[in-house]
Amino acid sequence: MTILFNEQSKEFHLQGSNTSYIFKILENNHLGHIYYGKKLTHRDSFERMYHVRHQPNTNYEFEGDNKFSLDLIKQEYPAFGTTDFREPAYQLLQENGSTTTHFEYKEHTIYKGKKKLENLPATYVEAETEATTLEVSLYDRVIDAELLLTYTVFEKFDAITRSTKFVNHGNQNLNLFRVMSASVDFFDSDFEMIQLSGSWARERHIENRKLVPGIQRISSARGTSSAQQNPFIALKRPSTNEHQGEVYGVSLVYSGNFSAQVEVDHYDVSRLMIGINPFNFNWLLEAGESFQAPEVVMVYSDQGLNGMSQTFHELYRTRLARGLWRDKERPVLINNWEATYFDFDEQKIVNIAKESKQLGVELFVLDDGWFGKRNDDTTSLGDWFVDESKLPNGITGLANKVKDLGLEFGLWFEPEMVSKVSELYKTHPDWVIHRPERKISHGRNQYVLDFSRQDVVDYIYGLMAEILHEAPISYVKWDMNRYMSEIGSAKLPANRQREVAHRYILGVYQLYERLTTEFPEVLFESCASGGCRFDPGMLYYAPQGWTSDDTDAVERLKIQYGTSMVYPISSMGAHVSAVPNHQVERITSLATRANVAYFGAFGYELDVSEMDEQEKHQVKQQIQFYKENRGLIQQGTFHRLESPFTHEANTTSWIVVSQDKTEAVAGYYQLLALPNAGFQRVVFKGLEPNYAYSIDGISETFYGDELMHAGLQLDKYAGESLTGDFSSAIFKLTKI
Ligand code: DGJ
Q: Which helix (H) or strand (E) holds 645?
A: none
Pocket test for ligand 1, best of 381, 481, 483, 577 (most atoms within 8 A of CB): 481
Q: Is 612 one of the annotated active-site residues of the chain?
A: no
Sorting pLDDT into bands at 50, 70 and 90, what band is 719?
confident
Domains, in order of start, for the chain:
3-319 (2.70.98.60), 333-634 (3.20.20.70), 641-735 (2.60.40.1180)
Give the pLDDT mean for 177-183.
Answer: 98
Q: How far is the CA of 551 from the centre of ligand 1 (A)?
A: 12
Q: 360: how many CB neighbours lie within 10 A of its CB?
A: 15
Whether 541 has a pLDDT exceeding 80, the answer reads yes
Ligand 1 atom with minimal separation from the 605 CA? 5
Q: How far is the CA of 465 from the centre of ligand 1 (A)?
A: 21
Q: 735: how many CB neighbours lie within 10 A of its CB?
A: 17
- Model pLDDT for residues 275-326, shown as the tens digit of each residue: 999 999 999 999 999 999 999 999 999 999 999 999 999 999 999 999 999 9
Distance CA 135, CA 110 (A): 6
Show the ligand 1 pocket: residues with CB < 6 angstroms: 337, 367-368, 412, 479, 481, 527, 529-530, 546, 549
Give the pLDDT mean for 635-664.
Answer: 96
Q: 57: how many CB neighbours lie within 10 A of its CB?
A: 6
Residue 734 near residue 694, CB atoms below 8 Å: yes
Give the pLDDT mean for 647-657.
Answer: 93
Distance CA 567, CA 531 (A): 12
Q: How far is the CA of 566 from the centre of ligand 1 (A)?
A: 23
User: Which of 385-389, 608-612, 676-680, 703-707 has the least mean pLDDT?
Assistant: 676-680
Q: How far is the CA of 546 from the centre of ligand 1 (A)?
A: 9
DSSP 331: P
Active-site annotation holder among 479, 535, 550, 607: 479
- Model pLDDT for residues 115-137, shown as the tens digit of each residue: 999 899 999 999 999 999 999 99
Give the pLDDT mean for 430-441.
Answer: 97
Distance CA 493, CA 384 (A): 30
Q: pLDDT value at position 648?
A: 83
List, in sequence order, every residue forming a beta bridge with 370; answer none if it has no partner: none
Active-site annotation holder among 387, 549, 552, 607: 549
Residue 129 near residue 140, CB atoms below 8 Å: no
Q: Is 368 one of the annotated active-site residues of the chain?
A: no
Residue owning the nearest CA to atom 10 of ligand 1 = 368
Give the pLDDT mean for 41-66.
Answer: 92
Whether 68 has a pLDDT exceeding 90, the answer reads yes
Distance CA 515, CA 533 (A): 19
Sorting pLDDT into bands at 50, 70 and 90, what band is 550?
very high
- Model pLDDT for residues 675-708, shown as the tens digit of each residue: 888 889 999 999 999 999 999 999 999 999 999 9
Ligand 1 atom with minimal separation from the 412 CA? 7
Say if residue 517 is exposed, middle or buried (CB neighbours under 10 Å; 0-12, 13-18, 19+): exposed
Residue owning the nearest CA to atom 9 of ligand 1 = 529
- Model pLDDT for residues 624-633, shown as the tens digit of each residue: 999 999 999 9
Percent pLDDT > 90 in the chain is: 97
Distance CA 102, CA 205 (A): 41
Q: How far is the CA of 577 from the centre of ligand 1 (A)?
A: 14
Length of the chain: 736
Whether 458 has a pLDDT exceeding 80, the answer reads yes
CA dihedral 437, 440, 441, 447 (to 10 degrees): 150
Whether 330 has a pLDDT exceeding 90, the answer reads yes
Sorting pLDDT into bands at 50, 70 and 90, what band is 53?
confident
Distance CA 298, CA 296 (A): 6
Q: pLDDT value at position 1?
A: 60
